[in-house]
Amino acid sequence: MNDAFARIVSEISKLGMDWHRKTLLDNSLRNSGNGEQSIRNIHPINDAKVLVVSAGPSLYRHGMLARLKAVRATLCLVAIDGAYVQCLRAGVVPDFVMTLDPHPTRIVRWFGDPDFEANSAGDDYFVRQDLDEHFRADAAKRNAENIALVNMHRLVSLLICSTSPVNVAVRTSGMQRYWFAPLVDNPALPGSLTRRIAWITGLPSLNTGGTVGTAAIMFAHCILKAQDIAVIGMDLGYTADTPLERTQSWNMLKGRKDVVGLYPKVQHPQWGECYTDPTYHWYKQNLLVLLKSGGFSITNCTGGGALYGPHVECCELEKWARGSA
């Protein structure tokens, strides 16, 4: 990792805090006092295996959802918002779906966006990335189908962050919702944003590690009290053939002379070479630190990507699901 890469990674957290502070407070204030349940009301499942389904491109590259369908019966599933409709399309209904991102126009698409055209105008965030190839091919038609699919599954439990934007709050209002607040700093310190949000909302706070996939893992550990947690679709890296322009960090890094050096190669000990970028590296670092702090491990069944390290075992989904990880 070169100095420029390390410097960018170290700046991401502060940028996020500076930018999100007002949004986090405003959204939490607006979403508070709705009288709905919180994640406190969810009972531990203890000995069940919990699988977190993230939305990385390995989901379709490795046919993970078809494979998941074959072992679904034995598992408790927590899908992140970006993987939810993909699961439904594959005939897999998760037990929980999680959403936390405060972005005002992007996130609602994961539930089928009634204002899709307006919310997509001038935004290439999803078009560039390799998250859902079918959606890219025919976005408007796909969006209409997603609206119908989500409407058909209103009984799925939604884990929703107090910081969610108003369009997500409205769009999911028919679902069985359990609210939580984000743990974004140390609540014991003066001026803590976490404490302020908790005071406004009355909600318990969950550490997100910067991304919804990590928040889902924290939910499985802290609320479900799961002893055996695995993930799929958590690539946190790009296959070697992914063009740089289709990475999450491209808009941040393009135009720099040292751009190629900001996408270092990663040699996964089990699944071979891929490359990463500052944003994905930051997510990975955060997750590894939280696993260490929590003193627990997860199993990564993604089948590719950059996630490995202390407290992360890697194996195939079927092997883990059948109990021989």
Partner 1 sequence: MTDLLRGNFTPEHKVEADELKQDERAAFRKRALESISGSMVFVDDKLLYWDLQNE
Contacting positions for partner 1 (CB under 8 A): 8, 11-13, 15-17, 19-21, 24, 40, 100-103, 106, 125, 161, 163, 182-187, 194-195, 198-199, 202, 204-211, 215, 218, 221-223, 248-254, 279, 282-283, 286, 289-290, 293-294
Least distance to partner 1, CB of residue 202, Å: 7
Rank residues 58 and 286 by Cβ distance to partner 1 and give the closer one: 286
**Smallest gap, in angstroms, from Cβ of residue 324 to partner 1?**
28
Separation of CA 231 from chain center: 11
Among residues 227 and 316, whose Cβ is nearest to partner 1?
227
Q: How far is the CB of 74 from partner 1 (least distance, A)?
A: 26
The residues near 175 (Cβ < 8 Å, ≥ 6 apart) are: 154, 155, 156, 157, 158
- Other beta carbons within 10 angstroms of residue 286's beta carbon come to 18
Q: Identify which of residues 26 and 185 has a Cβ nearer to partner 1 in the complex.
A: 185
Write down the least CB distance from residue 281 to partner 1, Å.
12
Q: What is the DSSP letter of 43?
A: P
Three-state DSSP at 266 gives strand
Structure tokens at 108: 């609602």
Measured from the CB atom, the residue of 278 and 317 that comes closer to partner 1 is 278
- Least distance between partner 1 and beta carbon 149 (Å): 22
Torsion (CA) 71, 76, 80, 85 in degrees, nearest 10: 50
In 3D space, the residue among 65, 64, 61 whose CA is nearest the CA of residue 239 turns out to be 61
Nearest to 228 by CA among 45, 81, 41, 40: 45
Least distance from partner 1 to the Cβ atom of residue 280, Å: 11
Query: How do 75-80 and 96-99 pair as beta strands?
Result: parallel
Nearer to partner 1, 141 or 254 (CB): 254
Question: Helices (DSSP H) in the chain: which residue ranges?
Answer: 3-31, 58-61, 64-71, 81-89, 116-120, 125-128, 133-137, 139-152, 166-171, 193-201, 212-222, 250-253, 278-294, 317-321
Q: Looking at beta carbons only, is 67 or 195 nearer to partner 1? A: 195
Q: Between residues 40 and 141, which has the closer beta carbon with respect to partner 1?
A: 40
In the complex, the smallest distance separating the C-beta of residue 126 from partner 1, rounded to whole angstroms, is: 10
CB 60 within 8 A of CB 133: yes
Give me the helix-helix angle, 81-89 and 64-71, nearest 10°.
Answer: 70
